[in-house]
Amino acid sequence: MVDLIKRAKELIETSVVKVLIGYEQGTANKTRALFVEKADDADRLIFDSRCVQNLAAYVTKKEVKEKGKMAIAATLPVMRSIIQLASEFQVNDNNLLVLGITPESKLIEFANLVEVETFVHKYEIEIDARNKEMLDKLEKMTQAERWKFWMDELSPCFKCYACRAACPMCYCSRCTVDFNQPQWIPVPSHELGNLEWHIMRAIHLTGRCIDCDACYNACPLSIPINLLTKKMLADAKEHFGAYQPSLKGDHLMSTYKPDDKENFIQ
Amino acid sequence: MAEFEPKIVAFVCNWCTYAGADLTGTSRIKYASNVRIIRFPCTGRIDYMLLLKAFDEGADGIIVSGCHPNDCHYTSGNFHARRRWIMFRSLCDFTGINTERIKFSWVSAAEGAKWAAIVNATVTSIRELGPYTEYKKVAKYPEKEVTHG
Amino acid sequence: MSKIGVFVCHCGENISATVDCAKVAETAGNYDGVAFSVDYKYMCSDPGQNLIKSAIKEKGLTGVVVASCSPRMHEPTFRKACAEAGLNPFMCEMANLREHCSWVHEKGEATTEKAIDLVRILVEKVKYNHSLNEIKVPVTKTALVIGGGIAGIQASLDIANTGHKVILIEKDPSIGGHMSQLSETFPTLDCSQCILTPRMVEVAQHPNITLYTYAELESLEGFIGNFKAKIRRKSKSIDEKLCTGCGQCTTKCPVKKIPSEFNEGLGKRTAIYVPFPQAVPNKPVIDRINCTYYIKGKCKVCEIVCPTKAIRFDQEDQIMEVEVGAIVIATGFTVKQPDFFPEYGYGKYPDVITGLQFERLASASGPTLGEIRRPSDDKVPEKIVFLACAGSRDPAKGIPYCSKICCMYIAKHAMLYQHKVHGGKSYVFYMDIRAGGKQYEEFVRRAIEDDGVNYVRGRVSRIYEKNGKLIVNGVDTLLNAMPVEIEADMVVLATAGIANEGAEELAQKLHISYDPYKFFAEAHPKLKPVETNTAGIFLAGACQAPRDIPESVAMASGAAVKVAGLFSQDELTREPIIAVVNRQAPPVYSSCVGCFLCVSACPYQAIEKEEIKNRNGELIKLIAKVNPGLCQGCGTCVAFCRTKSIDIQGYTHEQMYTEVMALLNEY
Amino acid sequence: MNIDKRLVRKDSLEKLFDILKQNSKTIYAPFSKNGKTSFMDAKSFAGISTGHIQTSESSKDIAFPRAEKILDYSKNKEGMSVKGIDFADIPEVVLWGVRPCDAIGIGELSSIFNWDYKDEIYNNRLSKVTVFGFSCNKSDEYCFCTSVGGNPGNTAGSDILFTRMGEDGDYLAEIITEKGLTVVSLAQNLFEKSETLEREKFLAEVPVRFNHEEIRKKLDKFFESKEWIEESLRCLGCGACAYVCPTCACFDIQDEAHGKKGSRVRCWDSCGFSHFTVHTSGHNPRGVQSARWRQRIMHKFSYMPERLSVYGCTGCGRCSRACPVDMNILEHLISIQEVTV
């Protein structure tokens, strides 16, 4: 990513941005986030197929935001997240510059978020084949079998909230689980606490999740929690049409159509 | 053994279903006494978490009911509710929560008879399903020791 | 620690017949925080209320649960009683033991158990209630009256005469409504036009009334005291300021064969027309569907003849926005077209007509100038048959309810016929004669006894034509169902009065409810007949149910008084059941993260953005804020907010959560 | 007690497992699922994971469960009746397949639970546990036990330590404690005497990367360093590090009420969470992630040695492996060592 390094240096040197968020080599075969604040640090920037962490999680982080205008090396999922965040008034053109990395690994610098949105809308959000297969498999099960599946899968969860931390959409300063009057979600990581936490998480991400898998990648126990959000994504598409984050702010779950179809209300 | 008496919680809006249930009363239509109504201003106010809480605390069935589409006292609370129900119900189904135990309905202020019918049908179907032991098993601490994950 | 009082009402025997009220009170008395509990015969009675008041004072109660009827019935009563005893009224909750328990379940333990549960839910809820203060909002002292029939006219005049402004909108080109179509009115037989026209003129001339005819409600926003209505003023294709109503255009218009709506199709009108001679305003409109110019692009005769150059072919519909504080709906009713009774031959035989058509025939201003002549050949009918309940009280084919006005107008019609056609013979087929009302029964008796109308109790099975006569086959149930056959010259069907087409749509625009027949629903069938469930919107006349003239007028005056009462205050107090975004001490300020998804969820555009700034005026945080004037308290935002930063007073997270907990656990 | 060394044939392990089962022991052993290895209640010997370097989670929740009910209460007319844990209900457990860095963590955890108040529940649970350590024959870039005083064949914390002698070899069993001896007595014949027992050459090599005493001294003057801010910028504030750590002991007490009845539950908490130190006033003394990351390091390498005379880190490297954003504790410790204060 010679282009990226070069551009990062320029942006920092000319003080167009105060910090650029990109990837660097991490421990072993891992990559990790790099915050370029000095032009020299830009040399550490890398980009390759291992760079899957959703860096958009940092643009709402207080300590990063406070540095001043940010630039972000953004893959397609990151760009989608940014559009969703912008539609939720968390970022704007004044505090964020997007250096897009296309699925073909080309660098595009966007003048503003509207351009990012236009770019993002060229690509429909598609659930990958492996997970689609998994969803199909689960849907073919009986309800009781699914219950067992999830009880088994969720039982190891110790509620470290890495899924929440890694998700760009989970930027709330007080998550529902931190709300204790009343205590909506049981704090302990017992079966009920785990089930309700993950249900709540999936609901709150419905219509907002852009299917980047950050939650799953972050899970230290590799629990397939992304299946829940994927299911919501697939269902939203089925019921309300293809979903794309949009600066218009016509959020899927805070709007409705008078003719929304269902077959279960008597 | 005595017949299983399901516990059913009804989450209803004030303007249509609550009033509809009032009309059931005024019309002296009898129905099963298993249901307890909790009054909300609007179906839009009904938090899906409350439905889960009802199961947590031992409900065997749930009724959620409000104004027919277009009839919402607040114009669109029920439309918002409907969209949330669609997604919430699908998620419940996906996680294996028994969606047959959650009955959604529209009951207007004029449908006293319909309210009685909804309650009776729900009681009958929950009676057939039996107590919601799967959920109760994970919900109540006092019955089990939690140790290792 | 809460000190809660529980008051269990027997409601005479309405509750105590199936619920063991003493046991309910005793059980409730054992709950934590319950300081007093008692059961009593009638809680809503004076002694009952005094029981509550003295307990509040003597025991220092911090919360009250009244277990009696539906809160929709008596919540205001008991909250007021609490307030009078010095307890914040919002510390009072009601458990619905009557409508939701005693009336719907059999006597038994399960029913008492349920009653106990219902009380416990509210006992636990009330522990989380907070004292709330009513919200004050300003009142726009202008009323919007929708519909310019007699009810709308009366309501407009009554409100205007109290000194308040009225905007009256009417969808037709003239006000007057159905009453202007009537010939004479029962039971006095005075001429409808004669008593109505002066009122119509008064409306037009009243300084406090702004009249928009040919106008309809487009949309409505806001709430009591502060509505914003959009009104569509349909294009009349004339400049009303220039038009003098001289009538040149209507005389010269070449399109003359359009069935007149006013005359129920029995007369004709032109394409540019004034619906009837006494119309208010007496200025024409162009019916664009039938006007040659709009169909073919040429003609413009009216424009040529108009002395004031008032014709405007390119005029467009205008949408205007008005701010009003109250709304009276007086949109009236319509009659069910009897073509669903093929056996009566309506539409097939021109001399089978509706009651409203007969009114036009009998009217001096009608197509026959008041002479009863049959439509087919203009002959005066020698034998006439009237059919009551042509659609009413007929759940199978028509409507199940009684249209109420038909018995009276049929008697009137028969009487008018007898007065106008000497030697004519009239028959009335009826199911029952419903003549409840001052002078009504006497009126019917007069028709029968003085004017010789033949009343036949029975239904008509078939009407068919034979040798130029209408053969009416019926039975006389008073003569052992003896078949009756009458060779009539004309038949009048008393068709059912039904809700207007589009009533449902209008109700949805107004956010009011309606009954299964699409008549608008009153807030209470007995005690709030002119109110709707939406505060600030009132009902008058036949839009609520079939009504005769005096009833419509009485309702209109009633609604007007409600409006005037509302306008007598500069500020309104509203229930503080509204949403509130939490605020916390710095550095948090609020748990709201400012995603503003609630903004699009709010049906009332009540959520705004609030900037939190530090002492130097720098923006620290942008959060949501609920405008208490606009919020109606639906709580859609509350269930939606991810951070649980919005709560709704009276139905808070804690209260609703506690209700669920209390319902399913032992306490 | 002197450490007794015995030979356990590779086929004898399963027999040992079965004998323990026959003696009503509950056995927790590592199993792999979704590519991660965790301790689970082993119903049978088959499937017990052996190839892993380290389990994803530590074994600490055998004595300090992620969520444990500590009492039931019910309100009545007379007041409150409380029913605590019946320690007799706690099963006798064999913790099978623990790495030495985990085993030593038990001691560090115990020192926290017995620092001031002696935590009855923890101690009772622990007293029912017999630890079967398994020495490491592999390590990776995250391992640094040797830098914090441990080693891949460390016997501390284990009751019996097994070392596999060669790729497919038999096991050397070191019987370290009386508890270990008690277990051995159930299956004497499986623990054979042998003269040819070697272990060092089969152990993994873990280079010493830093000097923990030096770090400790440095940290005294390091509190205000900008390092914390730079190092923690990518930290997202989840609790993964704390929850996989064998020595992190923060917990929360929750009352789960159901009307007049309810339970008190102790459950894990983490100093990495932004709400961990929020005061009721809204003030948060550790308002930024750098302060929380600093707390984690300081607690393990400064406060614990100071107050409890033990380090709060066993060098297992789990936190770094588990971290979704590659916060590598070893890397940071080395950089702290290199920085001149």
Q: What is the pLDDT of residues C359-401, one digit of tens each?
A: 999 999 899 999 999 999 999 999 999 999 999 999 888 899 9
- Locus of tokens 């005893």: C85
Q: Which residue of A has its CA nearest to D331?
A: A27
The DSSP annotation for C596-639 comes to -HHHHH-TT--EEEEEEE-TTS-EEEEEEEE-TTT-----HHHH
Q: Which residue, D23, D113, D17, is CA-closest to D60?
A: D113
* Start-end of H helices in B6-148: 17-26, 48-56, 77-95, 112-129, 133-139
Tokens found for residue D267: 């459950």
Q: Are C365 and C359 in contact (CB under 8 A)?
A: no
Instruction: Give the predicted TM-score (pTM) of the model.
Output: 0.79
Query: CATH homologous superfamily for C334-498?
Result: FAD/NAD(P)-binding domain (3.50.50.60)
Residue C329: in which H helix or E strand, if any? strand C326-329
- Angstrom distance (rounded) from CA A20 to CA A107: 14
- Provide the domain count of chain D: 1
ipTM above threshold 0.90: yes
Fill in the amino acid letter for C453.
Answer: V
Backbone angles phi, psi at C469, to 5 degrees: -115, 155
CATH code reported for the domain at C4-126: 3.40.50
DSSP C380: P
Q: Tell me, yes or no, if the two domains C142-329+512-567 and C334-498 fold the same way.
A: yes
Tokens found for residue D112: 């926290």
Q: Are B113 and A157 in contact (CB under 8 A)?
A: no
Q: Are D137 and D54 in contact (CB under 8 A)?
A: no
Mutation for testing the D interface, residue in A24, A54, A67, A161 having most D CBs under 10 Å:
A161
- Angstrom distance (rounded) from CA C157 to CA C175: 13
Q: Is the Cβ of D141 closer than 8 Å to some Cβ of chain A?
A: yes
Kindly compute the dihedral angle of the four CA atoms of residues C406, C412, C417, C423, in this order, to the nearest 10 degrees.
110
DSSP-based three-state secondary structure for C251:
helix
- What's the half-sphere exposure (Cβ side, CA atoms, 13 Å) at D191? 21
CATH topology of domain C579-648: Alpha-Beta Plaits (3.30.70)
List of chain A residues whose C-beta atoms are within 8 Å of the C-beta of residue B82? 256, 260, 262, 265
pLDDT at D24: 87
Measured CA distances, C269 to C246, C254, C361, D20, D177 (Å):
16, 10, 16, 105, 113
Helix (H), strand (E), coil (C) string for chain D: CCCEEEEECCCHHHHHHHHHHHCCCEEEEEEEECCEEEEEECCCCCCCCCCCCCCCCCCHHHCCCCEEEEEEEEEECCEEEEEECCHHHCCCEEEEEECHHHHHHHHHHHHHHCCCCCCHHHHHHHHCEEEEEECCCCCCCCCCHHHHCCCCCCCCCCCEEEEECCCCCCEEEEECCHHHHHHHHHCHHHCECCCCCCCHHHCCCCCCCCCHHHHHHHHCCCCCCCHHHHHHCCCCCCCHHHHHCCCCCCEEEEEEEECCEEEEEEEECCCCCCCCCCCCCCCCCCCCHHHHHHHHHHHHHHHHHHHHCCCCCCCCCHHHHHCCCCCCHHHHHHHHHHCCC
pLDDT at B71: 83
pLDDT at B141: 52
How many percent of chain D have pLDDT more than 90? 84
Which domains are assigned to chain B? 8-137 (3.40.50)
Q: Is the Cβ of C515 closer than 8 Å to some Cβ of chain B?
A: yes
Q: Is the Cβ of D332 closer than 8 Å to some Cβ of chain A?
A: no
Across the range A35-39, mean pLDDT stands at: 96
Across the range C590-605, mean pLDDT stands at: 91
Are residues A143 and B96, on separate chains, in Cβ contact within 8 Å? yes
Give the E-state strand segments of C405-468 in sequence order: 425-430, 454-457, 460-466
What's the whole-number average pLDDT of chain C?
Answer: 94
Are residues D89 and B145, on separate chains, in Cβ contact within 8 Å? yes
pLDDT in tens, D172-187: 999 999 999 999 999 9
How many percent of chain C have pLDDT more than 90? 87
Residue A105 burial (C-beta neighbours within 10 Å; 0-12, 13-18, 19+): exposed
Q: Is residue D282 in some structural domain? A: no
- Kindly tell me if the per-residue pLDDT of C215 is higher than 70: yes
pLDDT bucket at D341, cuts 50 / 70 / 90: low
DSSP-based three-state secondary structure for A31:
strand
Q: Are D159 and D95 in contact (CB under 8 A)?
A: no
Residue B1: other Cβ atoms inside 10 A: 3
Across the range C223-237, mean pLDDT stands at: 94
Q: Are C28 and C119 in contact (CB under 8 A)?
A: yes
Are residues C596 and A174, on separate chains, in Cβ contact within 8 Å? no
Mutation for testing the B interface, residue in D92, D126, D243, D258 having most B CBs under 10 Å:
D258
pLDDT in tens, C254-309: 999 999 999 999 999 999 999 999 999 999 999 999 999 999 999 999 999 999 99
- Angstrom distance (rounded) from CA C538 to CA C566: 11
Instruction: State the chains in contact with C (3 or more Cβ–Cβ pairs under 8 Å).
Output: A, B, D
Are residues D62 and B148, on separate chains, in Cβ contact within 8 Å? yes
- Angstrom distance (rounded) from CA D321 to CA C309: 89
pLDDT in tens, C328-349: 999 999 999 887 788 999 989 9
Q: Which residue, C402, C555, C334, C377, is CA-closest to C468?
A: C377
Q: Which residues contact A136 (CB under 8 A, 6 or more apart)?
A: none
Are residues B149 and D89, on separate chains, in Cβ contact within 8 Å? no
Counting every residue written for chain A, the total comes to 266
Are residues C587 and D259, on separate chains, in Cβ contact within 8 Å? no
**Beta strand C142-146 pairing with C326-329:** parallel
- Angstrom distance (rounded) from CA D142 to CA A243: 41
To the nearest whole angstrom, how far is the Cα of A212 from the nearest Cα of chain B? 19
**Beta strand C460-466 pairing with C469-476:** antiparallel
Q: Is the Cβ of D79 closer than 8 Å to some Cβ of chain C?
A: no
- Angstrom distance (rounded) from CA A38 to CA A8: 9
Could you state, in order of their start, the residue ranges of all structural domains in chain A? Answer: 2-120, 129-244
Q: Is the Cβ of D270 closer than 8 Å to some Cβ of chain A?
A: yes
**Beta strand C333-335 pairing with C497-499:** antiparallel
pLDDT at B142: 41
Candidates D273, D321, D325; nearest CB to A33: D325
Mutation for testing the C interface, residue in B11, B27, B62, B80 having most C CBs under 10 Å:
B80
List of chain B residues whose C-beta atoms are within 8 Å of the C-beta of residue A176? 49
pLDDT in tens, B85-97: 999 999 999 999 9
Cis peptide before A188 (omega within 30 of 0): no
Could you state, in order of their start, the residue ranges of all structural domains in chain C? Answer: 4-126, 142-329+512-567, 334-498, 579-648
- Angstrom distance (rounded) from CA D136 to CA C267: 106
To the nearest whole angstrom, how far is the Cα of B5 from the nearest Cα of chain A? 22
Residue C412: in which H helix or E strand, if any? helix C406-420
Are residues B147 and D65, on separate chains, in Cβ contact within 8 Å? yes
Instruction: State the chains in contact with A (3 or more Cβ–Cβ pairs under 8 Å).
Output: B, C, D
pLDDT at D325: 97
Q: Is residue D235 in some structural domain? A: no
CATH topology of domain C142-329+512-567: FAD/NAD(P)-binding domain (3.50.50)
Query: Could you tell me the end-to-end alpha-carbon distance of chain C, in angstroms, rounded to an integer?
Result: 16
pLDDT in tens, D45-101: 999 998 899 999 999 999 999 999 999 999 888 889 999 989 998 999 999 999 999
Q: Is the Cβ of A179 closer than 8 Å to some Cβ of chain B?
A: no
Q: Is residue D65 in some structural domain? A: no
Measured CA distances, C633 to C226, C604, C609 (Å):
16, 10, 18
Candidates D39, D67, D258; nearest CB to B57: D258
How many percent of chain D have pLDDT more than 70? 99
- Angstrom distance (rounded) from CA D190 to CA D178: 17
Across the range C456-481, mean pLDDT stands at: 93
pLDDT at D281: 86
